[in-house]
Each structure stands twice: as C-alpha cells, then as structure tokens.
Amino acid sequence: MKVIECFLLKARAAVMGALVLTAVGAEAQQDWIHVCTDAGAGGYEAFPDVCRLADGRLMAAFYAGYGHVSLPTESLPNGGRISYCLSSDEGQTWSAAQTLFDGPYDDRDPSITQLKDGRLICTFFTLQPTGGTSWVGLGTFMVTSSDRGVTWDTVPQQISASYYCSSPVRELSDGRLMLGLYAQTTTDAWGAVTISENDGADWSDPIIIPNGGLRYEAETDVTELKDGSLFAALRGQNHSGWSRSSDGGLTWSTAVLFGFPGHCHYLHRVPGDIVVMAHRLPDTSLHYSLDECQTWSTNVVVDAVGGAYPSMATLRDGSTLIVYYEEGTGSSIRAKRFRVTAAGFEWLSPTPGWPHFRTYLNKDGGLWTNTADWAGGVLPGPGEVADLSLATNVIWLTGDVTLGEIHYNPVFSGTTNRLTILSDTGAQQ
C-alpha cells in the first residue's frame, strides 16, 4: 500500500484498534531470554512482576540486591532496592535497569499495576535490620507514579504494618482495588485481602481467608471471575489451596487444597477466557483452567530453575509473556513466551517471529521518516509493528511503507481519537 499521508484526528467517534496489513507468525520453541542480569546492586535479581503500560511498553519491576536478603552494607548502604526495565518491542529486548524505589532498608518483592486512570502502583514490603544478619518486617507499602513511571513517590504509603504482599493490586470491575496479603506466627499462617474504595488513598483492615487449620504462608493473589465472584490462590510450604468470595471480598470460603503444591501463585486471564496460574514448585510451573478456576490442567513445567515468583502479561498477538527468576548466586530475571487455547499449550520462540515494535515517540506528530521520532532511532520496516499510540497530531510521509501492523491505542484522556490513513486506495479508519 502506498501511503501518502497519515492523519491523527480528534473526533467524537470512539475508534481504537489496529490496521493489520500483514500476518506475523512465530516458531514454536522453548527458549528463554534474560530481562536483566545485573541491576547494579550486587548482581542478584529476583521476585519480578511485569505490567503492560498504557503507552504500549512493558515494565518489569524486580528486587535488586546482593542476595536473597540484602540488608544495608557499606557498599549497599540502603540494602536491597526495587528496580525496573522497560521493553518497547513486546519483551524481545529490555532497557538497562533503573531504580524505582530505594528506601533506607531492604525493600523487596515488588508488584506493579497500572490503573484505568493511568496511575501506576508498585507494592512491596520492607525488612529492617536488628543487628548482624537479623531483621524485622515493617509491613506492606506502596508508591505511585502519575507520569508513566518517569517519577515515583519518594515517601511510601503504608498499607499494613503486620501483613505482607507478593502480588499486584487488582482493579475490580466495580472500581475497587484489592491486594492479596498474608501473615504468620510461630504456630499459624494465613492469607487475607485488603480493599480500597478510594483509589488507594485508604485501605481496609485485612480480611482473613479461613485456612481450615492448615498453615498457608499464602502469598495471596486474587482474580475476578466472569460471574463477579473472586478467586484467591494461597501458598503452603508443601501444599497450596484456593478460596472464593461471592460478596466482593468481604467474606471468603475456607481454603480448599488444589491437590498440587505451589508458591506465590500469579493469576492471569488470557484471550479465550482461560485463566493461567503460574507458581513455584515443581521448579517453575503453571496450570491453566478452561472453566473459571473450577478445574485445572496437568502441570506445565516452565523452567528447571527454582526461583519462580512468576508474573505474566498478554502480548499484542494474543500470546503471553511470563517472567520469573533463577535463584542462587547471581540470580537473574528470565522471560519466556507461550500461547494457550482450548486446543492446548504451545511454547513460542522469544526472538524469530516475535513481532518487533517501534513506538512513535513524538506525541505532537511530525515526519514518519524522521528516525528521532521512533524508538531506538530506527524506522519500522517489513514484518515490524508501528505503534502510533503516543501520537496526537499529523504524521506526514510519502512513498511506499511496508509493515507488519499499525497499532493505535491511545491513553484515554477525556477525548476520543480517530486514526485516519490516507493512501492511493482511499482513506481507511
């Protein structure tokens, strides 16, 4: 198609989507890639969480330190910190790590969510040293960003002083926010949730999920089912269980065993209304459900490494990116890609055939051919995806343009948008 001009016009009609010009395929392999091998805090990276940002990029937040617990030292005076990497090409390549939050003690186990209003929330918990290699937990905290992760709160907000988190804030269909929590004593351990009805300004007292007399160190995660009920997954040391709530999380059923072990479950709904639950044990694994968490597939081993604490995000082609960590000296963050449908499960290659995205960086429009307007300083080419979601004005170009896809999915700011492409075959919207 010979494209003469590409106009981005504000209009009342709501148009959001993509003009697909060429199909993009993928080879099925079981490869993995590194997201980050050294964030500059000692070479140990763990507990990752990945989030799709409204501008189309992926953000992976994770713990960075010198070991599984990184208390302050002379070389790392604030102890472990929260770092992040960004990807503009659907997880194929990642930026160098940057610091998201670094308080005076060991800040760890971050999870990240972008709310419908555009704000990012990162939750984590903190360990304070008490002498030698001992520490005490200070509870669960959150920091937010209103500028797509460029800047973050410097003073964290405490969500709970006695409960801890390992999963992201979940935004429910009714607008409330819910965060899975857990607590333990020498004799008991259980899961819980906390709810915010004012966009995270305040959080409820923890609502306990009955454990039926079994210890659940929990690392609770929650997902909303199609019938409006809530489903929670809970960790035990050598077992795992689940609970449901039919009243918006105010009360929960007594936890029931899955029948297989799991640590730090992560629940993610993929295209086709399939719920995937990734977890540690055995090694790094996942199960998936075709019937709203009533029954689960056989175990799918993701990787032989045992760090896990997995997280998932849906990619533009409908496949799923899963991130997890290795564990051990020099532990790093890994990522793999898969597709699951009612017909079965398939691993996909992370590189050949993984669509390469180029994001248009000039929000005020300009020349398509100006490499400074494109991520990486490179024009999109054959088989690649041109993401115009950041553009708000007119993009001018002449000549032939061959692409895999054009994506246009702008952040809603009160005015709907229309993408108009003028070519020698006529306007398309």
Whether the predicted pLDDT of 20 surpasses 90: no
146 is a domain residue: yes
End-of-domain residue from the set 318, 341, 364: 341
pLDDT on residue 392: 78
Write phi, then psi, for 188 (nearest 5 degrees): -150, 160
Would 231 be classed as within a structural domain?
Answer: yes
Q: Do both 109 and 218 map to the same domain?
A: yes
**Is residue 350 assigned to a domain?**
no
* pLDDT value of position 380: 82
**What pLDDT was estimated at residue 26?**
27
145 shares a domain with 98: yes
What average pLDDT does the chain have?
A: 87
Same domain, yes or no: 133 and 52: yes
d(CA 287, CA 258): 11
Among the three residues 314, 341, 368, which one is the final residue of a domain in this structure? 341
Say if 245 falls within a structural domain: yes
198 and 333 together in one domain: yes
User: Which range, of 22-26, 157-161, 261-265, averages the lowest pLDDT?
Assistant: 22-26
Are residues 373 and 333 part of one domain?
A: no
Q: Which residue has the tokens 């180029």?
A: 358
User: Considering its fold, how many domains does the chain have in total?
Assistant: 2
pLDDT, position 130:
97
Measured CA to CA, the distance from residue 407 to residue 316 in angstroms comes to: 9
Banded model confidence at residue 404, pLDDT cuts 50, 70, 90? confident
Q: Give residue 17's pLDDT.
A: 26
Residues 256 and 242 sit within 8 Å (Cβ to Cβ):
yes
Instruction: Give the pLDDT confidence of 300-345 residue by residue, as tens digits.
Output: 999 999 999 999 999 988 899 999 999 999 999 999 999 999 999 9
Q: Is the residue at 429 inside a domain?
A: no
Residues 232 and 292 in one domain: yes
The domain of 240 spans: 34-341
pLDDT for position 354: 56
pLDDT at 14 over 50: no
Model confidence over 43-66: pLDDT tens digits?
Answer: 999 999 999 999 999 999 999 999
Q: Which of 163, 160, 152, 207 is nearest to 185 (CA)?
A: 163
109 in a domain, yes or no? yes
Q: Are residues 310 and 203 in the same domain?
A: yes
E strands along 247-319, which residues?
Answer: 256-257, 263-270, 274-280, 284-289, 300-303, 308-314
**Locate tokens 């019937």: which residue?**
291
DSSP 360: B
Domain identity same for 20 and 49: no
Confidence of residue 29 (pLDDT cuts 50, 70, 90): very low
Examine residue 347 and state whether it is found in any structural domain, yes or no.
Answer: no
Asked whether residue 82 is domain-assigned, the answer is: yes
Tokens at residue 157, please? 């907000």
What's the CATH code of the domain at 196?
2.120.10.10
Residues 148 and 288 in one domain: yes
Question: Residues 12, 153: one domain?
Answer: no
